[in-house]
Amino acid sequence: MVNSQLGTEEKILEAAKKVFHRKGYEGARMQEIADEAGINKALLHYYFRSKEKLFEAVFEDALSGIMRLVSTIFFSDKPLKDKIQSFLCSYLNIITENSYIPWFIINGIYERPEQIKAIFDKQDINPLQLMKLLKSQVRKEYGVDINPFQIWLNVLSLSVFPVIAKPLVREIFRLSEETYNQLMEERKELVPELIINALKAYEKGEN
């Protein structure tokens, strides 16, 4: 149940987040959202015309959260290794409290490709700035010219996949929640080292 001090609209949004994050669009039920918010189902349509619109609000919220984190960290003035370290640390910390969000975002484009594409179009995200920054920073700090897309995809893969695949990996390896979290803690150091070591190896290989 959601905090009853909030206004109706906020209660709905919080409840919708809770349900959509865990169930996705198709799996979520308007009735469940209403129950979670402690209000009548018709109010969902009064404040947000349709399930689609409500979902859109929830998705945009999740998206803006991760975008803000990336921007804040990677457009700061720090060595690359520190940025990657900060990102991993912040990301994993945030995720421990909202562990379904990464799945929710990726699942979105599988469930509702057109809607999600429209959201991306509306928000005109520009990853090229980030790529440019990454490329120049790598060149400056490690003296090598590497496709920044691949570096970025590596960082994202090593950060996000272990979170998304957590339920599956835990089941296969029979790991407790605690054990898995401990392994994630280790990765806060391990992953930045992995990326940086690769860059250093390129550095030596080119000289």
Nearer to DNA, 49 or 117 (CB): 49
- Chain residues 130-159 in contact with a second copy, contact rule CB under 8 A: 147, 149-150, 153-154, 156-158
Residues 6+ apart with CB under 8 A from 196: 80, 81, 84
Radius of gyration of the chain (CA): 20
Among 79, 110, 122, 206, binds a second copy (CB under 8 A): 110
Residue 107 as a binder of a second copy (CB under 8 A): the answer is yes
Q: Is 1 in the site for DNA (CB under 7 A)?
A: no
- Best CA proximity match to 37, nearest among 2, 72, 62: 2
**Minimum CB–partner distance for residue 69 and DNA (Å):** 30
Q: Look at residues 195, 201, 203, 161 and name the one whose alpha carbon lies nearest to residue 85.
A: 195
Return the one option of DNA, a second copy, none that residue 154 interacts with (CB less than 5 to 8 A, by type): a second copy
Residue closer to a second copy (CB basis): 11 or 104: 104
Q: Which residue has the tokens 């999600």?
A: 116
Cβ closer to DNA: 10 or 61? 10
Residues 102 and 164 sit within 8 Å (Cβ to Cβ): yes
Using CB under 7 A, which residues numbered 3 to 22 contact DNA? Answer: 8
Q: CA dihedral defined by 7, 68, 150, 83, rounded to 10 degrees? A: -130
- What one-character DSSP code corresponds to residue 6? S
- Does 81 bind DNA (CB under 7 A)? Our answer is no
Residues in 33-72 at the binding interface with a second copy, rule: CB under 8 A: none
CA separation (Å) from 136 to 23, 84, 202?
41, 16, 15
Contact code string over 21-60 relative to DNA, x by CB under 7 A:
-------xxxx-------xxxxx-xx--xxxx--------
Whole-number Å distance between alpha carbons of 121 and 126: 10
Q: Which does 39 bind (CB under 5 to 8 A by kind): DNA, a second copy, none?
A: DNA
What number of chain residues touch DNA (CB under 7 A)? Answer: 16
Residues 6+ apart with CB under 8 A from 56: 115, 119
From the list DNA, a second copy, none, partner contacted by residue 66 (C-beta under 5 to 8 A by kind): none
- Out of 30, 57, 144, 169, point to the residue binding a second copy (CB under 8 A): 169
Angle at 123 between CA 29 and CA 136, to 5 degrees: 125
Where do contacts with DNA occur on this chain (CB under 7 A)? Answer: 8, 28-31, 39-43, 45-46, 49-52
